[in-house]
Amino acid sequence: MEIKGNTALVTGGASGLGLATVRRIVKAGGNAVIMDVDEQRGNEVASEFGKSAIFAKTDVTSELDVQHAIDMTTNTFGGVHFCINCAGTGLAMRTVSKSGPHKLDSFVWLIKLNLIGTFNTASKAASAMTFHEPNQNGERGVIVNVASIAAFDGQIGQAAYSASKGGVVGMTLPMARDLAALGIRVVTIAPGLFDTPLMAKLPEEVRRSLNESVPFPRRLGNPGEFAMLVEHVLTNPYLNGETIRLDGALRMAPK
């Protein structure tokens, strides 16, 4: 689908991969709805783009919040054409540690945010997309979900995180099949190590070690490179039902 003149929901859009995606969408002539829990940062980001972006304070695990954001989108821009699900976080906790078994509430919380939050937004966005007339390729919309290479190469302490992202990978094909008759494509991107605000907090020696772990290019990924792939997914009508690793050939070691 063409980005120009169309509108994208971007969860986690106030920072990191989400913010880079918002910038790419607007640069390509589209509109962006920044869905994030950080109200101050979200409004600041939206103000950068004038009439091309709005902010909707959204907890992606809340059905009411997500529907409110979609209603705002329809009222402001006329509808939803794209949904890019960047909202999520990580958790480091072993299945059994010196303090005992993995805290179940922590496991459930991460699954709810990374997996259920992704499905909540994607399914409601897909429903909104059905109101469009299909374009010349029969498309009504595109959903891009964000997993992680931890879905495949989970490290020690990543049982919850890998399960949440593995769930995102696992629902990609059936969701694409579910939505095929409606003209909605679904693709998942599994990023490797990217230079996001979370990574910026790490000590320099740790960042150097992470850089050296990537075969080529020997560095952390740039969020703009993630956004480049999002743009390609949105505009390439034959990409569907697939998970794409974006990791510089990195395969993570156990720890």
**Catalytic residue (choose from 161, 172, 179, 221):** 161
What is the distance between the alpha carbons of residues 161 and 72, in angstroms, rounded to a whole number? 31
What is the Cα 132 distance to its own chain's centre?
A: 23
Cβ within 8 Å of residue 180, ≥6 positions away:
240
Q: What residues pair up with 184 in beta bridges, in sequence order?
A: 141
Q: Is 161 in the active site?
A: yes
**DSSP code per residue over 184-201:** EEEEEEEE-SB--HHHHT
82 closest CA partner among 125, 134, 116? 125
List active site positions: 161
